[in-house]
Amino acid sequence: MSSTRAPEPLGGISMASRSPLADSRELAAVSGALYPVLTLLVRLPQTMVPLGVLTTVALISGSPALGTLCAGAVTLGSAVCGLAMGAAASWRGRQLGLVLLTLANPVAVWWLVRLLPGASAAPEPDPARLVLPCLLAGLVLPQMGVVCRLRWWSLLGRDDRQDLFDTALRHESVMDSLATVLAAVVTGLVAVRLGPAAVLALSAALTLAGTTVFLLHCSARLPRRLIRFRAPAAAGLTRAARLRRRRTAQLRLLPVVGMGALGALLGSILGSVVVFAISVDAVVSVAWLYAVTGLTSAVAAVFASARTEELRLWNRWVGAASGAVLASMLLTVPDDSVGMVLALAVAGLTTGPCLVAVYELARLVAPSSRVTALTTVMTAAMSVGLTVGLVLSGWFGETWGYRTAALVPVGSAALLLAGALGFVHRWRRTLLDDA
């Protein structure tokens, strides 16, 4: 399937101002009104399962390190699952694979829920007893963000509207942010009313229902889009051409690094929230506190999805990352819940625009045939970063206290800014070499 966009990376940039509502209307005209909403709902379990595991284990054990380790096992498993689903995207039996994951997920969650009450009876829960089922729960958790991005290629190709793929990428970035806040709100409500273990049961039910609707959607019968994780081999390239390929490959690596750093920032914020909640005996409210970050992040992402000529994507990445460094420093200040809510709200204002900007940069540094592959790797990198941030902040918090745990978001934000500055430097060097 051809694309109306130039197939070479580092092409021109259309920076016309766009309204998020206009984007949604254009996409709904192609896919139907249900599909954009469906892309939000099927993402909820991806946040609910780690939050549910984190809240349950931390409440049972009283250990932020063990809670973040188990939640990190879920996110690590989901990263592997996302890469596997991307690699199998063009397989004839990929729909069957999604069905098997959907059926296996409730079984893995049921096994995990059964083990949790047993852990509470032990004076010191055995990490090995909990980490393995948590990892399995992540491995069989369908990464619907990957599936949704692949499905847009089929939908837009059906009506010969490949020009809307950039719009679809912006929509998917906004849905990632909205799903985070909605899942955190639902998790907090269910955890308070029914107990944290009920969050896992609800996530399994949502996985089963959402994926079933997704599989029955009319777009499931459209031709599949072939994605490539590696560039096709080219023989007879000159030395200058080989040098250019190597430089553009390095340029594509930086958004992956950026998403990993952004995931580490979000994970370390969540880990710091857990340490803080345990210190004030409010573990069951972890999801509510994290929802504050998700809410401001979603609002900022919606506004950031409307591009302007004056603010280019890489400038937005640099600006948002610089703000994230300053906002993460505020996390070391709070002594009470009010201060923590305010610090989390400010931190969320920087993560939303950064998420949108880095995802959109994928379309500038990769040819059309490889954009989906690059975004799949970026999503997996974000999950890996989330795992690292969670585990480090939880371990630091249990060993040296909350103030030390709050330093992990600062380091993650600094890495995010370094990736942004490195991208700008590499972009300009590449353009100068091409001139």
Q: What is the pLDDT of residue 230?
A: 61
Least Cα distance to 57 among 122, 138, 141, 140 occurs for 122
Q: Say if domain 20-224+239-434 classifies as CATH 1.20.1250.20.
A: yes
Least Cα distance to 258 among 377, 363, 168 occurs for 377
Least Cα distance to 67 among 402, 386, 292, 395 occurs for 395
Average pLDDT, stretch 137-145?
A: 92
For the chain, the domains span 20-224+239-434
Answer whether 366's CB lies under 8 Å from 354's CB. no
* Residue 280 confidence class, pLDDT cut points 50, 70, 90: confident
Q: What is the pLDDT of residue 237?
A: 62
pLDDT beyond 70 at 122: no
Query: Could you identify the residue written with the tokens 């998403």?
Result: 259
CA distances from 289 to 28, 270, 395 (A): 33, 9, 20
Average pLDDT, stretch 324-342?
A: 91
Q: What is the pLDDT of residue 4?
A: 36
Q: Which residue has the higher pLDDT, 372 or 276?
A: 276
Answer whether 180's CB lies under 8 Å from 297's CB. yes
Instruction: Identify residue 4 by its one-letter amino acid code.
Output: T
Q: What percent of the chain has pLDDT over 90?
A: 35
Average pLDDT taken over every residue of the chain: 82
Q: Which residue has the higher pLDDT, 234 or 137?
A: 137
pLDDT beyond 70 at 423: yes
Query: Other CB atoms closer than 10 Å to residue 248's CB: what's the count?
Result: 20
E strand or H helix at 22: helix 20-31
Show Cβ contacts of residue 313 under 8 Å, excluding neighbours closer than 6 positions. 13, 307, 357, 360, 361, 364
Output the six-digit token pair for 180. Answer: 């985070």
Query: Other CB atoms closer than 10 Å to residue 49's CB: what's the count?
Result: 31
* Residue 240 confidence class, pLDDT cut points 50, 70, 90: low
Average pLDDT, stretch 239-249?
A: 70
Please tell me the distance from the alpha carbon of residue 26 to that of residue 21, in angstroms, as a whole number.
9
Q: What is the pLDDT of residue 8?
A: 37
Min mean pLDDT across 178-187, 230-239, 354-363 is at: 230-239
* Residue 298 confidence class, pLDDT cut points 50, 70, 90: confident
Average pLDDT, stretch 98-113?
A: 90
pLDDT beyond 60 at 211: yes
Q: Which residue has the higher pLDDT, 248 or 102?
A: 102
Q: What is the pLDDT of residue 117?
A: 53
Show Cβ contacts of residue 422 under 8 Å, excluding neighbours closer than 6 positions. 254, 257
3-state class (DSSP) for residue 224: coil
Q: What is the pLDDT of residue 77?
A: 95
Answer whether 270's CB lies under 8 Å from 418's CB. no
Output the six-digit token pair for 122. Answer: 């032990």
Show Cβ contacts of residue 371 under 8 Å, excluding neighbours closer than 6 positions. 165, 169, 362, 363
CA distances from 175 to 171, 229, 318 (A): 6, 24, 22
* Residue 1 confidence class, pLDDT cut points 50, 70, 90: very low
Average pLDDT, stretch 147-161?
A: 81
Average pLDDT, stretch 223-229?
A: 62
In sequence order, the β-bridge partners of residue 302 are none
Average pLDDT, stretch 395-411?
A: 93
Q: What is the pLDDT of residue 119?
A: 42
Q: What is the pLDDT of residue 12?
A: 36
Tens of pLDDT, residues 7-59: 333 333 444 445 556 667 788 888 888 888 888 899 999 999 999 999 888 88
Instruction: Identify residue 126 by its one-letter amino acid code.
Output: D
What is the DSSP secondary-structure string of 345-411?
Answer: HHHHHHHHHHHHHHHHHHHHHS-GGGHHHHHHHHHHHHHHHHHHHHHHHHHHHHHH-HHHHTHHHHH
